[in-house]
Amino acid sequence: MLFYRFFLGSLRQITRGSPWYFAWVGFLLLCILVGALGYIDQLKGGLIETNMRDQVSWGFYIGNFTFLVGVAAAAVVLVIPAYIYQWAPIKEIVIIGELLAVSAIIMCLGFVSVDIGRPDRFWHLLPIVGHMNFPSSLLAWDVLVLNCYGALNFVIVTHIVYRLYTRRNYSKRFATPLILFSIPLAVSIHTVTAFVYNGLPGRPFWNSAILAPRFLASAFCSGPAIILILLQLLRRYTQLEIKKEAIWKIAELMAYAMFINLFLLGAEVFREYYSGTHHLLHTKYLYMGAHGSHVLVPYAWLSVACSVIAFFLFLIPKTRKNVVTLNVGAVLIYAGVYIEKGVALVIPGFTPSTLGEIYEYSPSRTELQIAAGVFGLGFLAFTLMTKVAVPIMRGTFHIDSGKAAATTAKTAKTVEAHE
Amino acid sequence: MTANCNSCRGKERQACTSCPGGQAQRQAEPASASDRRTFLKTTMAAAAAGWLAACDEATREAFFQKHFRELSATEKRDVFARLEREYNKQFKKKVSVGGEPAMDGVEFGYALDLSRCVGCRRCVYACVKENNQSRDPQIQWIRVLEMEKDKGVDLSEANPYYDAEKVPREGHFYMPVQCQQCRRPQCVAVCPVGATWKEPDGIVVVDYNWCIGCRYCMAACPYGARRFNWGEPSIPADEVNPDTHYLGNRPRYKGVVEKCTFCIQRTRKGRYPACVEICPVGARKFGNLLDPASEVRQVIEHKRVFLLKEEINTQPKFYYFYGV
């Protein structure tokens, strides 16, 4: 009953808002529409509507998926200081990180779904009813951990928000074990996604032991980068109180993560170039182009430049604490890691192909459309969830707020009746 | 842009799967009735319940069809019969779907003589015909690579787009590559739904009715042996080979993966694969690895063989050798 009231109240929250809010939601719905139209084309014609081919059999979709798995772990960067160290400034905002994790998982699953050739057979993947190739297939593992992580975060955040709504603290007995479990699970979604690539001996570009550590390092940059920007937007537009210390601490953690990320990248590049085996071709294709093909080259260098500049902006306390340079840094990190973990990871793995052929891939219009749709879906989920969570965090939307309104209305009516 | 196409260099823009021109051509075609049906099939999957009640029996049976290896003998017969009805309707001619199991005491192996191969690509085209590969978009299971003699087997310098009219070219040799039928197949290990597996006679097969089209196997294969049906496959009805096997050359669907099966529909009946039969220079040898008298065992015994990318430890049953 109480939960039903919470549900109704939440519905009221998301259907009311400023014109800016509706404009934003409208924009996201438009993105989803564009994506849906693209997806209808793809269902009709097949994946031939994309520019993926036998030589480059995964592309933009799987690149975005890989990047977003990283974003999903962002929550952990907030969860550890908030719940393990009980650090107040971050504890106040940890919910935002968890909501982002849920939204990122929605987008991850979206990108995997649009990439498969036979979505009508999705049930083959389910355990028991289908025929899940577990534990042999890393993709089966990935489906499992991603769904668990998404569901877990959704349960945790719903519990905490609902408790706040009823003006209680979250249940330590219920939530604490789940929160603790979400930490290794966040690490596992990265590790497993890295192993999906890492475990393939026929793809030397991915078959490197430091791929999983690189995934973790870059995830701890890109996820927080988005959180930093989101927090500042929320602070500006919703009056949600966010302490400067929280933001600076996140930025500091990102500087360390970026250092490790760049170091691991350097170690990889050194090995490739110094040993100079045939496997170097993939790295060369990425950074210098090969056999006259160099679509990725500008993106690869843009990614490196963004990451290096952002690293210094976040390392130097003065620029870390300056609002402008902080945001510039966050955007640069986002861009840098988006390229690095997206196209620059997937495509060079396939180029040259296992038989030495170079097929230059770049996403088709349909792929861009569908990607816009999936991003729209994820951002819409985040927007709606935040729209409910923020007033609860601020204490303006709670169990008595509905009641108070109802009582006022009732009193007003009684008064009217009396008159 | 078409001239830059890596697959056909702009020569076959309509037939080529890699060409934007080819794509546009297909987009312009009016959606056929079967297109619409597939489209419906996929979009409504989410709201399966209501839809399943409304659709016809065959579609429902196809949707709920179990994993091939979980089917009983009677269920298999029913599935084959249903597929035959579907193919008969689609191609307006009698197509038989068989399911011959592996023979006891047989493990198939292949040997290919690089010193004989002239790169004429007849094996490629014979394979396309025998195995009902889609003509548009074009799918070919065998890829012949042209290599420079002084570089040896160097895949990074290989050229699959040479002109087959002008072979053999001075200073070059030719290396056909197809599924290596590995003893440790990476593709099988990674498939999330177990839609591909190694049969008792060593042939790695795909259940086209179970594959979800995630293409993880294509990322895993070190030999580029797997092909995906990026678009709706099409074969002119009069060119369809009506003698098919469920795990082999029966016509495929959009959105699933396929590959060489050592012509399972022929070899399990004691015949040679089509590529062995057509080869004009006798470069291709095939037989039972468990039979010491077989041709392929003779090659292993009397010539020196090598395996492609042996360092990956996939342990292919496809042996390359230099016969002369």
pLDDT (0 to 100) of residue B120: 97
pLDDT (0 to 100) of residue A240: 83
At residue B230, the 3 state secondary structure works out as: coil
Q: Rounded distance, CA B295 to CA B261, Å?
A: 19
Q: Is the pLDDT of residue B8 over 70?
A: no
Lowest-confidence segment of A91-95, A114-118, A410-414, B180-184 by average pLDDT: A410-414
Whole-number mean pLDDT of chain A? Answer: 91
Lowest-confidence segment of A31-45, B8-22, B44-58 by average pLDDT: B8-22
Binning pLDDT at 50, 70 and 90, where does residue A92 land?
confident
Put simply, whether A117 touches B (Cβ < 8 Å) is yes
Residue pair B34/B253 in contact by the 8 Å Cβ criterion: no
C-alpha distances (whole Å) from B231 to each of A364, A407, B27, B63 are 15, 62, 10, 20
Lowest-confidence segment of A86-95, A136-145, B241-250, B272-281 by average pLDDT: A86-95
Query: Could you report the predicted ipTM of this complex, rounded to two decimals?
Result: 0.92
Q: Rounded distance, CA B65 to CA B39, Å?
A: 19
Mean pLDDT calculated for residue range B68-80: 95
Are B231 and A130 inside 8 Å of each other by CB?
A: no
pLDDT (0 to 100) of residue B103: 96
Mean pLDDT calculated for residue range A109-124: 96
pLDDT (0 to 100) of residue A352: 94
Q: Pairing mode, if any, of strands B243-245 and B96-98? A: parallel
Contacts 24+ apart (CB under 8 A), A132-138: A132/B192, A132/B193, A132/B194, A133/B191, A133/B192, A133/B193, A133/B194, A136/B189, A136/B190, A137/B189, A137/B190, A137/B191, A137/B192, A137/B216, A138/A192, A138/A195, A138/A196, A138/A199, A138/B190
Lowest-confidence segment of A294-298, B52-56, B127-131 by average pLDDT: B52-56
Q: Rounded distance, CA A311 to CA A26, Å?
A: 36
Of 2.40.70.10, 3.40.50.11540, 3.40.1160.10, 3.30.70.20, which CATH number belongs to B108-321? 3.30.70.20
- In this structure, what DSSP letter does residue B317 have? S
Are B231 and A133 inside 8 Å of each other by CB?
A: no
C-alpha distances (whole Å) from B47 to each of A162, A287, B60 are 30, 46, 14
Are A48 and B26 inside 8 Å of each other by CB?
A: yes
- Mutate which: B155, B162, B188, vs A, most A CBs within 10 A: B155
Q: Rounded distance, CA A394 to CA A239, Å?
A: 8
Are B17 and A54 inside 8 Å of each other by CB?
A: yes
Lowest-confidence segment of A309-323, B18-32, B158-172, B303-317 by average pLDDT: B18-32
Mean pLDDT calculated for residue range B179-193: 97
List the structure tokens of B38.
């597939």
- Domain A2-212+219-398 class in CATH: mainly alpha
List the structure tokens of B123.
């094996």
Among A residues 336-355, those touching chain B with beta carbons less than 8 Å apart: 349-350, 352-355
Q: Is the pLDDT of residue B7 over 70?
A: no
pLDDT (0 to 100) of residue B232: 97
- In this structure, what DSSP letter does residue B109 have? E
Mean pLDDT calculated for residue range A282-294: 93
pLDDT (0 to 100) of residue A3: 84
Q: Is the pLDDT of residue B30 over 90?
A: no
Q: Rounded distance, CA A370 to CA B182, Å?
A: 37
Of B42, B157, B158, the CB nearest to A119: B42
Q: Is the pLDDT of residue B146 over 80?
A: yes
Binning pLDDT at 50, 70 and 90, where does residue A100 land?
very high
Whole-number mean pLDDT of chain B? Answer: 88
Q: Structural domain boundaries of chain B?
A: 1-30, 108-321
Q: Rounded distance, CA B57 to CA B205, Å?
A: 27
Mean pLDDT calculated for residue range B166-179: 96
